[in-house]
Amino acid sequence: MTEFVIARAADVGLPVVGTDAVFPVRRVYCIGRNYAAHTVEMGGDPDREEPFFFQKNAENLDPSGVFPYPHQSGDVHHEVEMAVAMAAGGRGLAVEDALDCVFGYALCLDMTRRDVQAKLKKQSRPWEAAKAFEHSAPVGPIHTVAHCGHPARGRITLSVNGTIRQDGDLDQMIWKVPEIIAYLSETFELAGGDVILTGTPSGVGAVERGDLVEIAIAGLGSHRVQVR
Ligand code: MN
């Protein structure tokens, strides 16, 4: 038994529908600009350019249903995304084999300090301060592949206080889930426990303290997050 010189941070475990056992999170990867209409609203070129990725921290995933409004920002945006939870990984995975590595899927939010991100982009600096802050990835319970299959189409929505803000379809993804996994595995060695956020449809916008955010994906139910 390894002895640690200071108290060890707790492991991050996410709830799984149908069991009391939790999913142990290793790394969190996010793809940028993966729906054409969102790419356009962020000022990008919707043509199929190479995908790019950034990371959040495992403990940024928060299943509590509460999002504490972060400090250092006055413009925090919602991005509804489907999360892929990996059961296995590897390097250089083939597109045809990629889905065999998936454990399940969940509803997720890629909360973003948009004002901070705009400044970092202008300075050509990395995005962690905009993306990887505490509680920045509210997440619903994981649905196993046995329960939901591999969702490739179906409505993905986000509402704030009952008003729809984002309304897209999973089939609008520029890079599909098997391609995202294969591409990511060229750069990083993936492993069971990794979670991949697959991008957001258009309609991103600001949340305020007191807002109730509800996200939904066909086949994965819905998940509510209260902004505090
Ligand atoms: Mn995103």
At 44, phi and psi to the nearest 5? Answer: -100, 180
Residue 46 has pLDDT above 80, yes or no: no
* 24 or 48, greater pLDDT: 24
How does pLDDT run across 23-36, given as a tens digit for each residue? 999 999 999 999 98
**Predicted pLDDT of residue 43:** 82
Q: How far is the CA of 50 from the centre of ligand 1 (A)?
A: 16
Contacts by 114-121, CB closer than 8 A, 24 or more apart: 114/73, 114/75, 114/76, 114/77, 114/204, 114/206, 115/73, 115/74, 115/75, 116/72, 116/73
Q: How far is the CA of 75 from the centre of ligand 1 (A)?
A: 15
Q: Which residues are within 5 Å of ligand 1 (an ion), measured at CB?
A: 79, 110, 200
Q: How far is the CA of 215 from the centre of ligand 1 (A)?
A: 14
Instruction: Provide the whole-model pTM.
Output: 0.96
pLDDT, average across residues 13-42: 94
Q: How far is the CA of 87 from the centre of ligand 1 (A)?
A: 22
Q: How far is the CA of 110 from the centre of ligand 1 (A)?
A: 5
How does pLDDT run across 120-138, given as a tens digit for each residue? 999 999 999 999 999 999 9
Tokens of 43: 């000022």
How does pLDDT run across 97-114, given as a tens digit for each residue? 999 999 999 999 999 999
